[in-house]
Amino acid sequence: RKEVEQDPGPFNVPEGATVAFNCTYSNSASQSFFWYRQDCRKEPKLLMSVYSSGNEDGRFTAQLNRASQYISLLIRDSKLSDSATYLCVVIPGGGSNYKLTFGKGTLLTVNP
Amino acid sequence: DAGVTQSPTHLIKTRGQQVTLRCSPKSGHDTVSWYQQALGQGPQFIFQYYEEEERQRGNFPDRFSGHQFPNYSSELNVNALLLGDSALYLCASSPEPTGWAYEQYFGPGTRLTVT
């Protein structure tokens, strides 16, 4: 089983749509969780951290379910500028506290 | 405030050759990590340097080595290049983490093509 698995995508949605990305992780000792965004041929950039209580940043909502080892990202009212690859990222913990473990990424295209 | 910088931007090498990639961390950051991103994949952790020593290593062969200098900049060296080493190599810097959650800032990457 891969350490971090994401919806394979791609997702094609119209402007204004709500879209959800799902991610699971295998290491129950994992301590920190993030969503990164990567534009085509650019570097990954942190979109938001994911906290146990769930957190929201404008149109973006992240949820964490430790029991199910599941992370989600919800984007409401999609904009053309949201088109990118969304990467689920976990810090494994348990002696591997320093590396980011990335999922394969899910490509989102928002269409006019 | 300059972010993470990497050089060169692009590089073309032949199988069997050696390559050195360079990274300067964001101001105030003392930790540098290197990642390899193959086409269509997420970045894969190669190793992390802190206080001029390799602190943690991912699942990469010994052909991949690195160095960190006193000014916190870093180099990634790859020997005996294989076609499969063709990828985007990303450098990320961060301050020493004080808790479980911390952000790594990525540079624009070096795109290596091995022919």
Tens digit of each residue's pLDDT (9 = 90 or more) over B51-71: 999 988 999 999 999 999 999
Give the per-residue pLDDT at A1.
76
Question: Which residues of chain B register pLDDT less than 50?
Answer: 100-101
Contact check, Cβ <8 Å, B97/A97: yes
Give the per-residue pLDDT at A51.
83
Q: Where are the alpha helices (DSSP H) in B1-108?
A: none
Give the per-residue pLDDT at A68.
93
Give the per-residue pLDDT at A88.
96
Interface check A20 vs B, CB under 8 A: no
**Please, are residues B85 and B111 in contact by the beta-carbon 8 Å criterion?**
no
Determine the distance in angstroms separating the CA of A43 from the nearest CA of chain B, rounded to an integer.
5
**Please, are residues B6 and B25 in contact by the beta-carbon 8 Å criterion?**
no
Give the per-residue pLDDT at A66.
92
Q: In chain A, whose CA is at the least distance from the CA of B46?
A: A99
Q: In chain A, whose CA is at the least distance from the CA of B90?
A: A43
Question: Which residues of chain A register pLDDT less than 70?
Answer: 94-96
Give the per-residue pLDDT at B98.
56
- Which residue of B60, B103, B111 to mutate against A (max A Cβ within 10 Å)? B103
Among A94, A48, A46, residue whose Cα is nearest residue A71: A48
Strand (E) positions, B1-115? 5-7, 10-13, 19-24, 31-37, 44-50, 53-57, 64-68, 74-78, 87-94, 105-106, 110-114
Give the per-residue pLDDT at B100.
46
Number of other residues whose CB lies within 10 A of the CB of residue B43: 28
Measured CA to CA, the distance from residue B45 to residue A94 in angstroms comes to 16
